[in-house]
Amino acid sequence: MKDLIKAIPHHFKPEEITLIGKALDLARKAHAGQKRMSGEDYVTHAAASAVILGQIFPDPPTLAATLLHDVPEDTKVTLKTIKTEFGEEIANLVDGVTQLGRVRMKDSKDKFYVENLRKLFIATSKDIRVILIKLADRLHNMRSIEHIPKNKQIKVATETLEIYAPIAGRLGIGKWKDELEDLSFSVVYPKEFAETQKIVQVELEKKQESIKEMQKKLTHILKTEGIKFLDITGRVKRLYSLFNKLKKYGGDISKVHDIIALRIIAKSTAECYSILGAIHQYFQPVPGRIKDFIATPKPNGYQSIHTTVLDLNKETFEIQIRTDLMHEEAERGVAAHWFYAEEGKPEVSSSAQSRWIKELQSWQEQTTNPEEFLESLKIDFFRHRIFVFTPRGDIKDLPLGATVIDFAFAVHTSLGEHMMGAKINGKMASIYDELEQEDTVEIIKSKKPVTISQDWLKAAKTSNARNKIRHYLNEHNRGIIQRIKELQFQKFTLPKFFRRK
């Protein structure tokens, strides 16, 4: 318990320490006798996940839920017991992590599969804290991935690269995103990982001296100009990020200017621009290589100024300039406000959460005012969407209240036009039945196109299905009218025509 609290950079109140200790004690008892593949007691995973989360988000109820996150699923202790012992908030977080654990990648060739799986991941969470717990859980599993069988390693690492790392990025948690990407990269693409690692090592050796020289020179310049700053540190580009950049430039390393960079941490935004001016006064800037993410932040809230200059050896060198608050946001994302509130600095929670909510909300088909959804840390904007599986495991994103008819046309127009029935979760169902979150739907097909009626149009909720049904009805009606005209021309009476039909 002492090691756990000591590892988290936060000053906990006595009652908060009691809560965390109580959760750790229950986790230890519940997981007694259970071992990880590494041979360690299973409770070490729960504790390690809590430490990872505590590094960026030291919220006591969330840490307690992290310690208990595997208890209901893997032990005899029930969610009801957790609710009785710890209250509804912690029980709901634990239950949310359990539900989220069921969102798994499957082999799918659907081009929208990964994007829809990310949507399902968020829709299942309902609370950002659930996502944070799951990300911390996954990060610890990735750090110890070598202890599981190779085929499972590849499956877990692929899922991490496709789902977990991008979500960490969307939440602005650069620290977790980078580590999740690099750990997964080494498993999924070991050859490319080794090649990229070698490139970085070569570049580091080449620029080792120039980094030190630039640090000294910049320190001297800023002190001479009377500009205050907090720190100047070196930064090496993460391997997976470099790998993707090299792919973009066809493997041409000369086009990548930010493999090695210096990062200057300032006290204020005004000083960031003063530093930029001083640097350009002493070093020649490379045209087109100045990016001002302070004036125009990235969608996930990232702020910094990037400039590329020619160093003392006339080689390109990137310098990043940001305030300490911007640096915390870049590293910790949604949790940065904890550290600033504790140190008496201005909170960034409201504005930062607003940006993250907007970014997450951009995954939705229709966006509305984010203020409507910003209630505490809840994710409510997916409450009007459901995510339904095909028998192959592909995911279809549909509005709440969507029916089997909407699903069929979402898969393919031809499937809708040949639909004679359906099964929902293996049981026979009507094509007019409404679907629920994570239903698996199988469409029963006819060999020939079926007759689509006006009732289908009334039951459909999506514009996609309604448009296709309208098109069918219009074409079908035009066909009847044309046939009537032909029969009239052949001097058939209408009553005779309808009797024959």
Q: Using CA atoms, how far apart are residues 73 and 134, in angstroms rounded to an integer?
A: 14
Q: How far apart are CA 142 and CA 140, in angstroms?
A: 5
What the block records as the tokens of 266 is 């300032």
The whole-angstrom separation of Cα 472 and Cα 409 is 12
Q: Which residues contact 150 (CB under 8 A, 6 or more apart)?
A: none
For the question of residue 74 being annotated catalytic, the response is yes
Catalytic residue among 25, 40, 74, 231: 74
Tokens of 358: 């907007």
Residue 185: both structure tokens together: 């990269």
| CA-closest candidate to residue 384, choices 409, 405, 364, 411 | 364
Q: Based on the residue annotation, tell me whether 73 is a catalytic residue of this protein.
A: yes
- Name the percent of the chain in helix, strand, coil, to the closest 5: 55, 15, 30
Length, in residues, of the chain: 501
Per annotation, catalytic residue among 25, 73, 146, 365: 73
Q: Quote the distance between the C-alpha of residue 13 and its chain's center.
A: 32
- Token pair for residue 447? 């060999």
For residues 102 and 389, the answer to whether their CB atoms sit within 8 Å is: no
Neighbours of 447 (CB within 10 A): 6
- The 10 Å Cβ neighbour count of residue 491 is 6
SS3 for 382? coil
Enumerate the active-site residues.
Answer: 73-74
